[in-house]
Chains A and B, each alone.
Chain A
Amino acid sequence: MIRIQHEDFDPGAEIARLAADGAGAGGLCLFVGLVRDMAAGQPIAAMTLEHYPAMAERELARIEAEARSRWPLRAVAVIHRYGRLEPGDRIVLVATAADHRGHAFDACRFLIDWLKTRAPFWKKEETPAGEHWVAARTDDDETAAAWDKTRE
């Protein structure tokens, strides 16, 4: 299940939905990403997430399919927000339901690592020094690439 939306989401409701969609699973794993209050030593007043809607839908669906091909998952949920968000606001949710916790944990971690390097979203931060686009981090690419090495 993929959703891209401006509105906030309710993690409790998403857990309930995942448990229903993945009925019979032995466990759920959920990660919720939040807007940080500091970046590079500067306080952040807000950030705006821009995205490429048609491609974001396709990439998130592709990432979900990839996770399902690697682990036996009963259900997957990925929600990504866009628009202007403030520190503490929820940005992203990834959640998995599986028969065994190891699969749920691994797939959840894989989903957030891959999403960060493939899904077409871009952050612009507002700080006292002005607005700027956030540069991609090469260690995120390395984290995602490490999953390729686990493929064998």
Chain B
Amino acid sequence: MKVLYFAFLRDRTGTGEETVNPPPEVRTVGELVAWLSTRSQGHARAFAEMAAVRAAVNQEYARMDRVLGPDDEVAFFPPVTGGSGR
């Protein structure tokens, strides 16, 4: 499974992309977050405040209860701040 990190999540995990093989009990995005958080202190800090984290599966926004498959591309990032002006 490919996991991507953007913005402050990339800074904190220290990587933009990693390939992981979570155990079978990790079924959902939320469970993947809990499992990834144990990988390093940086990962734990990236996921410390889940209100500031959004997820996408295969380039589409996904909720934490979304069920994952082994070939999915999962991305984690903060709420978006593109465009300009107010």
Question: Which residues in A have some Cβ–Cβ distance to B below 8 Å?
Answer: 33-36, 49-52, 54-55, 58, 80, 91-92, 112, 115-124, 133-137, 139-140
Assess the A124–B82 pair: CB atoms within 8 A.
Answer: no
Distance in Å from the Cβ of B64 to the closest Cβ of chain A? 18
- The secondary-structure label for the interface of chain B is loop
Closest to A113 in B: B83
Assess the B84–A34 pair: CB atoms within 8 A.
Answer: yes
Chain B residues whose CB sits within 8 angstroms of the CB of A33 once the complex forms: 83-85
Assess the A112–B78 pair: CB atoms within 8 A.
Answer: no
24 residue pairs of the A-B complex, CB under 8 angstroms, read A33-B84, A51-B6, A52-B56, A55-B56, A55-B60, A58-B60, A80-B82, A112-B83, A116-B80, A116-B83, A117-B80, A119-B82, A120-B56, A120-B80, A121-B80, A122-B78, A122-B81, A122-B82, A123-B81, A133-B7, A133-B78, A133-B81, A135-B79, A139-B86
Assess the A52–B79 pair: CB atoms within 8 A.
Answer: no
Distance in Å from the Cβ of A77 to the closest Cβ of chain B? 15
| Other A-B pairs, 5, CB within 8 Å; known A35-B84, A122-B80 | A52-B6, A55-B56, A55-B59, A58-B59, A133-B11
Chain B residues whose CB sits within 8 angstroms of the CB of A135 once the complex forms: 78-79, 81
State A121–B4 Cα separation when bound (angstroms): 14
Chain B, 1-38, CB within 8 A of any chain A CB: 4, 6-8, 10-11
Distance in Å from the Cβ of B16 to the closest Cβ of chain A? 9
Chain A residues whose CB sits within 8 angstroms of the CB of B82 once the complex forms: 49, 51, 80, 91-92, 115-116, 119-123
Question: Which residues in B have some Cβ–Cβ distance to A below 8 Å?
Answer: 4, 6-8, 10-11, 56, 59-61, 75, 77-86
Closest to B52 in A: A135
State which of B11, B59, B85 has its C-beta within 8 Å of the C-beta of A52.
Answer: B59
Chain B residues whose CB sits within 8 angstroms of the CB of A35 once the complex forms: 84
Closest to A31 in B: B85
Chain B residues whose CB sits within 8 angstroms of the CB of A52 once the complex forms: 4, 6, 56, 59, 75, 77
Closest to A90 in B: B84
- Say yes or no: A122-B77 contact (C-beta < 8 A), given A52-B6, A55-B59: yes
State A51–B80 Cα separation when bound (angstroms): 9
State A139–B84 Cα separation when bound (angstroms): 13
